Amino acid sequence: MQNANSVTDRTIGAIVAGDYRTAAVFEKHGIDFCCGGKIALSAVCQAKGIDPGTITREIEAAKSTPVDRSQNYTAWTLSFLADYIINTHHSYLKENTGQIAAYAHKIAEVHGARHPEVVEIAAIFDEIATDMAAHLREEEEVFFPAVKRVEATQKAGTAPEAKDIETIKRSLEKLSHEHDEIGDAAHKIRHLAQGYAIPDDVCNTFMVTYQKLNEFEDDLHKHVHLENNILFQKAAQS
């Protein structure tokens, strides 16, 4: 099985970056393809007790589903991809983070005595919200503009500014590290929330908060995947 071996040797991030349709397979198996995407598929299979042959067949099947050309992120220019990330994922965060934090505090107040995990969840989410605001600012005001300027010089056939190359190098390291930290915090919330299972004795706000936290994590995975596995990889080559 030469083919199966070559797929399992690749990292999760590289497989999803190569074909976004494979993300559905990893989601199904609860495998992190963004923040934890630097691990080889074979290692993940071993850790999670998944048969490599089965998942390889599922990946091949995902690759043969019809392509949605509008989601062919690897073919996009970095400037277009950066704008897409801002217009979808950054605007999602700006619209929802404050509201989710307010909900989390409300359920901590009402249900904290019977469900102490929600008090911890509210505190962790506050940290995520603060870190994320600074992270988005750095991407929008420093990193993405430098990436766009370098791409424009490449297109024009001129040399990029040394300070832009330096900015990209510095930001890449810092932003990747922040992705890991924010991803870890989101995993911690999922763990505390026991996978967002809704307890029997709670109100609608509790239910909505868990649904919103779940949606937040889902959006974060897609967002960080586009940055870590596509945008950052290409920007590192500039």
Name the site residues for Fe ion (rule: CB under 5 A).
139, 227
Instruction: Please state, in angstroms and as integers, the Cα–Cα distance from residue 172 to each residue in 12, 147, 233, following that order.
Output: 20, 11, 9
- Residue type, position 102, single letter: A
State the Cα–Cα distance between residues 142 and 171, nearest whole angstrom: 8
Nearer to Fe ion, 32 or 139 (CB): 139
Instruction: Please state, in angstroms and as integers, the Cα–Cα distance from residue 39 to each residue in 14, 15, 34, 169, 206, following that order.
Output: 10, 11, 10, 23, 34
Q: Please, what is the minimum distance in Å from the beta carbon of residue 23 to Fe ion?
A: 17
- Residue type, position 173, single letter: E
Nearer to Fe ion, 109 or 184 (CB): 184
Q: Please, what is the minimum distance in Å from the beta carbon of residue 175 to Fe ion?
A: 5
Q: Please, what is the minimum distance in Å from the beta carbon of residue 231 to Fe ion?
A: 9
Burial of 120 (0-12, 13-18, 19+ CB in 10 A): middle
Q: Please, what is the minimum distance in Å from the beta carbon of residue 176 to Fe ion?
A: 9
Crossing angle, helix 117-138 and helix 162-192, to 10 degrees?
170
Nearer to Fe ion, 12 or 226 (CB): 226
Nearer to Fe ion, 93 or 121 (CB): 93
Q: Which residues pair with 92 in a beta bridge?
A: none
Nearer to Fe ion, 92 or 196 (CB): 92
Q: Please, what is the minimum distance in Å from the beta carbon of residue 212 to Fe ion?
A: 19
Q: How far apart are the first and last CA of the chain?
A: 37
Q: Please, what is the minimum distance in Å from the beta carbon of residue 54 to Fe ion?
A: 33
Nearer to Fe ion, 23 or 224 (CB): 224
State the Cα–Cα distance between residues 231 and 25, nearest whole angstrom: 22
